[in-house]
A and B are shown apart, each in its own frame.
Chain A
Amino acid sequence: MRFALSDEQTALRDAVRELLSRECTPALVRAAWVQTPEADPGRVEAVWAKLAEMGVLGAAAPAAAGGLGLAACDVIPLLEEAGRVALPLPLLETAFVAAPLLAAAGDPYGMLERLIAGELLVACALDGSALVPYATGAHVLLLGERDGGPIRLLAGGESVEPVRSIDGARALGRLLDPAAGRLLDVDQSAASAAWQRGALGCAAQLVGLGRALLELSTQYVKERHQFGVAIGSFQAIKHHLADTLIGLEFAAPAVLRAAWSLDAGAASAGRDVAMAKALASEAAQRAAAVALQCHGAIAYTTEYDLHLFAKRVWASARSWGDADWQRARVGAALGL
């Protein structure tokens, strides 16, 4: 029994953390916001190139296809880091969902090499929705129904129209024809694994986002003075932040355990992923609500960076199955 990352896993995570904290600053997240004065797609693409250079885009692709062939336990910590900086790019969808799925399908369109090289962005809506995050900048879309039904593949571009998300960095698109796309030839277990990787990766990102919001709030309440003292000395503030930390600290091990279950092919993997996503969605939403409240009015602006993280939480907490839906999956697995 060892419930901890290995030295190699920690080193890889730290390297990605270092890269992202340098490259993916709040200013970069703002540059990804469409239709704003700060929009600068070129700057955002440069981050994608750096991730490709480090090998992150091929992390979960088989070594035979030029990837690193890493397991979920290796990749999940990286997605938490992507969440921590609110990375405005479809890293989860491209590297952790599409790459292994395309490999399982035998790479029918010969896309893997370009994907790993950073020349191909993939967006996903495997939850039956016509709204696809990151669709407006994606080359390929993967579409399907929740929980591992048939998956369709569709070229990006003309097939979607841009729509306005509360999170301008999500590059949200709506499918013009919700039934469009070519069926991908994979068996049910590969489709199901794709869904589970997506839900779990989203959970990891939400934990990272929650941690970022907690850090931002903790820093702020130490510095902000009212009534002659730092507001972080007030018990009401302390309890809000303590509860936020508790939520995140109990969600994070559930995420890591689900990754282990996926890697081990455990019979409980589906249940474990559902539990992880339910806990992470709630913990991140609490972190967003508490961050807003503890900051006060400054948080209710777009000039301050907090909204970049909070809006990502609100937009993505319901992607890949919201907390209630995922909890119902756990209940069903328990025979309730």
Chain B
Amino acid sequence: MDLTYTEAEQAFRAEARAWLEANVPRGLASGDTAAGFAQHVEWEKRLFDARWAVVSWPERYGGREASLWEWLIFEEEYYRAGAPARVTQNGIFLLAPTLFEFGTVEQQERILPRMAGAEDLWCQGWSEPGAGSDLAATKSRAVRAADRGGWLLTGQKTWTTRGAFCTHLFGLFRTDPDSERHRGLSYLMVPLDAEGVTVRGFQRLDGDEGFAEVFLEDVFVPDEAVLGEVGEGWRVAMATAGSERGLTLRSPGRFLSAAEQLIALARERSGAATPLLRERVTRAWIDAEAYQLFTLQQVSAIVAGRSPGAASSLNKVFWSELDIRLHESALDLLGADAELDGPWSRGFLFSLAGPIYAGTNEIQRNIIAERVLGLPRR
């Protein structure tokens, strides 16, 4: 056990903190609106120019080859500085790890630099009207167009976050028409300006146009659009699912920062806090801290060469439910002010999505029971 950072890591933290303090913009509109999205993309370009956009990536793609520890440090500093939400996150945190693992060199060199520089903006095309938690029920299909050296995509994706503003989509398509469930799926990447794509944005619970449905009708993509082997889409997608449920999407920095703000709010409004509410605030802080410790342990295991595997489902259930409790405590401290449209009420609405996306928490609990504890499936 050694819970201290090295001098080099501390220097990395100091550099990140100084740059963020000097550069973080204030008062941006929501990244899930057209105007706000453009502002956020500008911010992403500034991050990229200063090589803070993708710290853990190789230098040739705009990164710093930061270790996992340094990545965690950067995330802590990012949230501590109150920096804008990452509108590039579905690309840099979900697609990119999959590209690093399964992509060809050609794909990596073509896609990663433009993703890091926020020139291409990626959204995730997994959910369909008939395939939510049951992702293997995917119906969207890709038909072989051998004469053209590619595939024709037809189907519908939905709940696509920032789909109305992004330029590209990655998702699962059925390449074997006779296949069922997990077999016969392929992982494909599609430019949203291709002929035959129609995108319709719609409002999320918080009133922002953060969702979209994407209709595809005989959309041609070349063979290079397939990530991994044809027919291996499920295995490739599950690698991304691990990233989304585990630490890359929700680093502890986010909850530590929210918990510190909650503590500050509780001190500020100490008159409003009953003993029970003070206890709930403490509980939220303890849980954020516990999430950080769990992550440090998990990263230590990864650094030692062990994969977290199904354990990422433990993270997902814990952080998503912690996030709701944390925001509910804040709203109770705010009392009558809680209904005002503001950071806490918006954070609360956003937290309610946590137990739903990236596989509902009910599904995560099944995964924990079946793959970690070894209980029978049926």
Contact = CB atoms under 8 A, between A and B. Distances in A.
B69 A1 contact: yes
Contacts of B314: 245-246, 249-250
B362 interface: yes
B19 interface: no
A242 B365 contact: yes
A179 interface: no
Interface residues of A, number: 46
A221 B375 CA distance: 8
**Among B6, B266, B365, B375, residue most surrounded by chain A Cβ atoms (within 10 Å):** B375
Contacts of A238: 365-366, 368-370, 375
A336 B282 contact: yes
Contacts of B126: none
Nearest to B370: A238
Interface string A87-117: 0000000000000000000000000000000
A204 to B, nearest CB: 14
Interface in A293-326: 324
B369 A230 contact: no
B339 interface: no
A66 interface: no
Contact of B283 (A73, A249, A327): A327
A105 B314 CA distance: 44
B294 to A, nearest CB: 5
B285 A330 contact: yes
A37 interface: no
Interface in A112-138: none
Interface string B352-378: 000000000010111011101111111
Nearest to B313: A242
Nearest to B2: A2
A223 B242 CA distance: 30
A43 interface: no
Contact of A218 (B278, B279, B318, B375): B375
Nearest to B5: A1
A181 B364 CA distance: 54
Given A1-B300, A3-B297, A233 B286 contact: no
A198 interface: no
Interface in A207-241: 214, 218, 221-222, 229-230, 232-233, 235, 237-239, 241
A214 B368 CA distance: 13
A233 B369 CA distance: 9
A237 B368 CA distance: 12
Interface stretch (A45-53, A145-153, A253-261): A253-261
B286 A330 contact: yes
Interface string B245-273: 00000000000000000010011001001
B368 A246 contact: yes
Nearest to B68: A1
Contacts of A221: 375
B281 interface: yes
B317 A246 contact: yes
A246 B282 CA distance: 19
Contacts of A235: 362, 366
A170 B35 CA distance: 67
A256 B1 contact: yes
Given A222-B375, A238-B369, A336-B263, A253 B297 contact: yes
B301 interface: yes
A103 to B, nearest CB: 23
B225 interface: no
Given A2-B300, A336-B263, A254 B365 contact: no
A208 to B, nearest CB: 17
A78 interface: no
A335 interface: yes
A178 interface: no
Interface in A2-20: 2-6
A155 interface: no
Nearest to A232: B375
Given A1-B9, A222-B376, A239 B362 contact: yes
A64 interface: no
B195 to A, nearest CB: 44
A77 B5 CA distance: 24
B336 to A, nearest CB: 22
Nearest to A218: B373
Given A3-B1, A238-B368, A330-B285, 20 more contacts: A1-B296, A3-B300, A233-B375, A235-B362, A237-B369, A237-B375, A238-B370, A238-B375, A241-B373, A242-B364, A242-B368, A249-B294, A253-B293, A254-B289, A275-B289, A324-B279, A327-B286, A328-B279, A335-B263, A336-B281
25 contacts: A1-B2, A1-B4, A1-B6, A1-B9, A1-B69, A1-B300, A3-B300, A4-B300, A218-B375, A221-B375, A222-B374, A229-B376, A238-B368, A239-B362, A242-B364, A243-B365, A245-B314, A245-B368, A245-B372, A246-B314, A249-B311, A249-B314, A260-B3, A278-B286, A336-B270
The 8 closest A-B pairs by CB, nearest first: A238-B369, A331-B282, A253-B293, A242-B368, A242-B365, A232-B375, A3-B296, A3-B300
